[in-house]
Amino acid sequence: MKMATRVIVLLLALLCLAGCGKPAAEAPDFQAVYDSMTALTDMPDMVVVPNDKGEFLFGIAPGDCKQEIVAICQDSLLADELWLIEATDQEAADRIEALAQNRVQQKAAELENYLPGQYQVVQQAQLSREGNCVVLLVSPLAKELAKLLK
């Protein structure tokens, strides 16, 4: 009898603890977010990198992504770049976040002496992570673009 009571109390405690965790935040629809970003009048024309090319160009493994929109500026003299990625899990998000950090460093090194104005744009890039979502905004409009994510 004591054993059955202990088991019941333990199960009730586990159920209570299971209900205390925060539900995972639902990722935004990145296609809709991207569409609203590119609709801004000051936003340059962007080219979305096909998902199967993201690994070759940036190291982003397709199997690490649930949603992936990576876009680069059509004008090669502008540094603008957008990464809107929902990773499959925490480890994938860690890898993608590291790739994004490396990308910012790489772009900065390329542009520092070549295009100082665009170097400043890269220096003000916004990299954010919420759960498994990684967002990189390289644009003079980065602050305005970040508002569209909320």
Question: Token digits for 79?
Answer: 């540094």
Domain assignment of residue 80, given as a range: 25-147
CA–centroid distance for 133 within its chain: 5
Q: Does 16 fall in a domain?
A: no
Q: Does 55 fall in a domain?
A: yes
H helix or E strand, kind and range, residue 4: helix 2-20
d(CA 26, CA 24): 6
pLDDT at residue 42 greater than cutoff 50: yes
Query: Would you say 62 and 55 are in contact if contact means Cβ atoms under 8 Å apart?
Result: yes
Going by the DSSP 8-state scheme, the letter that residue 53 receives in this structure is: G
Quote the number of domains for the chain: 1
Global pTM value: 0.83
Query: Would you say 137 and 126 are in contact if contact means Cβ atoms under 8 Å apart?
Result: yes
Query: Would you say 82 and 46 are in contact if contact means Cβ atoms under 8 Å apart?
Result: yes
Q: Does 17 fall in a domain?
A: no
The per-residue pLDDT for 2 is 46
d(CA 38, CA 86): 19
Q: Does 8 fall in a domain?
A: no
Provide the mean pLDDT of the chain.
87
Going by the DSSP 8-state scheme, the letter that residue 28 receives in this structure is: P
Q: Does 33 fall in a domain?
A: yes
Q: Does 2 fall in a domain?
A: no
Q: Does 61 fall in a domain?
A: yes
Helices then strands, counting H and E runs in the chain, come out as 6, 5
pLDDT digits (tens, 9 = 90+) for 47-101: 999 999 999 999 999 999 999 999 999 999 999 999 999 999 999 999 999 999 9
Q: Does 15 fall in a domain?
A: no
